[in-house]
Amino acid sequence: MMRGKIGKYIGMLVVAFSLSGCLQPSPPSSSEGEKVLPAITKEDTHKHYQGKFVWHDLLTNDVASAQTFYAGLFGWSFQKRDNYVLVMNHGERIGGMVNIASPRGEKVTAIWLPSISVADVDEAAEYLVRKKGKVLKGPMDMKKRGRGALVRDPYGAFVVLLHSKSGDPLDTTPKIGDWLWNELWSNSPSQSYSFYRALGGYDKEADTEKDYLILKQKGVWRAGIRYVEEDAFDVQWVPVVRVSDPEAIVAKTPELGGRVLMKPQATLMNGDVALIADPSGALLIVQRWKEGDME
């Protein structure tokens, strides 16, 4: 999202986070039960990885166009669950889509909203508030999804704090079309790093004055923090999808209604990375990657 647009999202984010029967205080009827947000894994994994990004929800005012775009680009498939669309890659759940509309009916830029695994949502939310972040909704029990809170970090990025009821997706090698990584675009990377290191229980980075910082948990790479100019983009999390050929993805993107914001460049990570936006403007990075690159 370009600078200045992020403030419009707060009300819509709260509405989206409240969808699908999440706030029903009493046991749901059979019809209401179908509206509950699905678990993030098909079966219980009995594993939780503090600091891992375990889910992504696309908030958009055009779910139909988003499905066409992502199916054509990555081969993703979808399952409709009442007003929620489950996103699948190679038969595995990787995210969801929620249709939202601005109160005035104006077109808004879509956003991928990530969920980060925390051991205790309430404690994490209290820590965030102490650090001058804002809790927009929750903490609350979301039935099959688990306990969560929609928050805005002290520097402006939206994220969901989640303790999944079914456990977190297991640590495995990302397939083509899977989420590979998440980048926080921040104009204060060292401050953002300090905040998230405590929130996610990440390892301590030796040099926190760099323009790119890595969040690791027990040596496992979980996310990166990239410096961006203050007047260029709002502070935000941008997801990264693993692809086999960034050039091919970039060629397909405009054909499917998206935009190419940065083509692969030989001078930048050997041409392995590109930045695109879907038809409603949601940003994402595509990256060619092989095992061992994040060690």
pLDDT in tens, 215-248: 999 899 999 999 988 666 778 999 999 999 999 9
Asked whether residue 113 is domain-assigned, the answer is: no
pLDDT in tens, 95-127: 999 988 766 666 778 899 999 999 999 999 999
Asked whether residue 108 is domain-assigned, the answer is: no
Residue with tokens 């029967």: 21
3-state secondary structure the chain: CECCCHHHHHHHHHHHHCCCCCCCCCCCCHHHHCCCCCCCCCCCCCCCCCCCEEEEEEEECCHHHHHHHHHHHHCCEEEEECCEEEEEECCEEEEEEEECCCCCCCCCCCEEEEEEECCCHHHHHHHHHHCCCEEEEEEEECCCCEEEEEEECCCCCEEEEEEECCCCCCCCCCCCCCEEEEEEEECCHHHHHHHHHHHHCCCCCCCCCCCEEEEEECCEEEEEEEECCCCCECCEEEEEEEECCHHHHHHHHHHCCCEEEECCCCCCHHHCEEEEECCCCCEEEEEECCCCCCC
Asked whether residue 199 is domain-assigned, the answer is: yes
Asked whether residue 224 is domain-assigned, the answer is: yes
Domain of 262, CATH number, reads 3.10.180.10
Asked whether residue 232 is domain-assigned, the answer is: yes
Q: Residue 266 belongs to what domain range?
A: 179-288
* pTM listed for this prediction: 0.89
Asked whether residue 22 is domain-assigned, the answer is: no
Segment among 26-30, 40-44, 87-91, 148-152 with least mean pLDDT: 26-30
pLDDT band for position 292 (cuts 50, 70, 90)? low
- Domain tally, the chain: 1
Asked whether residue 33 is domain-assigned, the answer is: no
Asked whether residue 1 is domain-assigned, the answer is: no
Nearest alpha carbon to residue 148 among 129, 133, 135, 131: 135
Q: How much is the pLDDT for 21?
A: 37
* Stronger pLDDT, 20 or 67, i.e. the higher one: 67
